[in-house]
Amino acid sequence: MAVAFSPLGEKELEACFMYESEKPNVHNQLLKQIQYGVQLKRVQCNDRSRPLLDGLRKFRRQLTIEEQIQKAAETEEAVVEGDELDDIDRVRDDLQSTKQMLALELRNKEAVERENKRLLAKILNLEVEIEKEKNTKKQEDRTPQVLKKEFEEETKKLQSELQESQHAVEEIENKYHDTVGQLDMTKNDLEEALRKNQQLERKLASIAKGGEGHILTKQPSAKKIVQSKDDKTIGANKINSTNPEEEEESEYEEVTETETETESSEEDETDQAALQERRTARELKLLVTKLKSFKEKETMARKERHVLREQLKKQQQALRDEKKNYKKLQKEVDKMAKLMKDDDENDSESDEEGESEEDETESDSESEESEQEESEGELPPDTPSDKKKQNLTERSKMHENCLAALKKGNYLLKANIDKLKDDLFKQREMSLTLQEDLNSVLAELG
């Protein structure tokens, strides 16, 4: 496509006709560049075999036919490998996503477990509260007769337990006394054996002292007699010399035997009398210890009774005060009820009720027995042992009966104290409920 150039001026050119391809727009400029081409950058080189390619981005050689075929095959293999790599990537992505989902699932599971534990603890707390409410409702629903029956059953149970414990204590005390008596008997037997041993030692010493005046020569042995048969004269002299010594020894033995027989008979009689005296003394000692233990227990029981009576007085005073407080609150409630009534009603009725306070003045029917003096009831020391034994047994029996009575009285005092405690608790509950009602009424009025 040729472009006409006119030698005319610009004014003349504006009046001349122009083809569409001659107009200076972007399309025509592109067509001109395509037609004439783009001037490449000049390349300077010293050697034609080694051109300077600085500034060029790429330089590729044209491939031959064999290289093109080989490249086509390689591209096919690359496509296959690419597919496999794509499969591996896909599997990896799937595994990664699965891992993330599992981690999320684990987090959700832990959160659910925590929530379940919290809800379970809340359920347990609610169950405990429900149980408490049920118990309180049962206690409120229980009538006084049922409460009285339960109290009687509880007291019977406590009484049986107390009796069992008392029996156990008595058995232990009896065993203790038996063991103490056995210990005293064994001590006395041991002393008696030691005394006999000392007597025998003294006898042996006296026998040894008595035999010092009579020197007893030792008889020759049979071996020496056989060896001295050759020397007849020497053997005869020895036999003659030993005969009078043997006679003296036999006489001494007879005398000592008679003396020991007489002494043994006399000592047997004295030993029997001493043994009887020791037995009676041991029995008296056991009775004295038994009486002493009964006295100590009796004093302890009396002290316990004094303490229990003080506690009983305190509980009675507290119950009286609580009843006064309850009556005072009852009067205030009655006044409030009368104020809330209609004005037409007559208020002439007297509100005050004569307080009949039950002053429970417990008269101590059982007067405190004065402690017996040590000299009272005791016999003089020169009285016979049989009378002493009888006196000690009677006194121990008396103190034992007194101790049993004291224990029974203490048990009854404890039962009365427990009953007063229950009454005081019930009275306080009644006062609290009445006070709450009064406060609620005052709050409504205020």
Per-domain residue ranges for the chain?
1-37, 75-133, 257-328+391-433
Query: What local confidence, expressed as pLDDT, does residue 370 receive?
Result: 45
Which pLDDT score, from 0 to 100, does residue 365 have?
A: 46
Secondary structure of the chain in the HEC alphabet?
CCCCCCCCCHHHHHHCCCCHHHCCCHHHHHHHHHHHCCCCCCCCCCECCECCCCCCCCCCCCCCHHHHHHHHHHHHHHHHHHHHHHHHHHHHHHHHHHHHHHHHHHHHHHHHHHHHHHHHHHHHHHHHHHHHHHHHHHHHHCCHHHHHHHHHHHHHHHHHHHHHHHHHHHHHHHHHHHHHHHHHHHHHHHHHHHHHHHHHHHHHHHHHHHCCCCCCCCCCCHHHHHHCCCCHHHHHHHHHHHHHHHHHHHHHHHHHHHHHHHHHHHHHHHHHHHHHHHHHHHHHHHHHHHHHHHHHHHHHHHHHHHHHHHHHHHHHHHHHHHHHHHHHHHHHHHHHHHHHCCCCCCCCCCCCCCCCCCCCCCCCCCCCCCCCCCCCCCCCCCCCHHHHHHHHHHHHHHHHHHHHHHHHHHHHHHHHHHHHHHHHHHHHHHHHHHHHHHHHHHHHHC
Single pTM value for the model? 0.38
pLDDT in tens, the chain (446 residues): 444 444 444 555 556 888 888 888 999 988 888 888 777 777 666 666 666 666 666 556 678 888 888 888 887 776 555 556 667 777 888 888 888 888 888 999 999 999 999 999 899 889 888 988 888 777 766 666 777 777 888 888 888 888 888 888 888 888 888 888 888 888 888 888 888 888 888 888 888 887 554 444 444 444 454 445 455 444 444 444 444 444 444 544 554 555 555 555 566 667 777 787 888 888 888 888 888 888 888 888 898 899 989 989 988 998 899 898 888 888 888 887 777 765 445 444 444 343 334 444 444 444 444 444 444 556 666 677 777 788 888 888 888 889 888 888 888 988 898 888 888 888 888 888 888 877 877 777 76
**pLDDT score recorded for residue 262:** 57
pLDDT at position 247 is: 47
Look at residue 196 in the predicted model and tell me its pLDDT.
Answer: 86
pLDDT computed for residue 165 by the predictor: 84
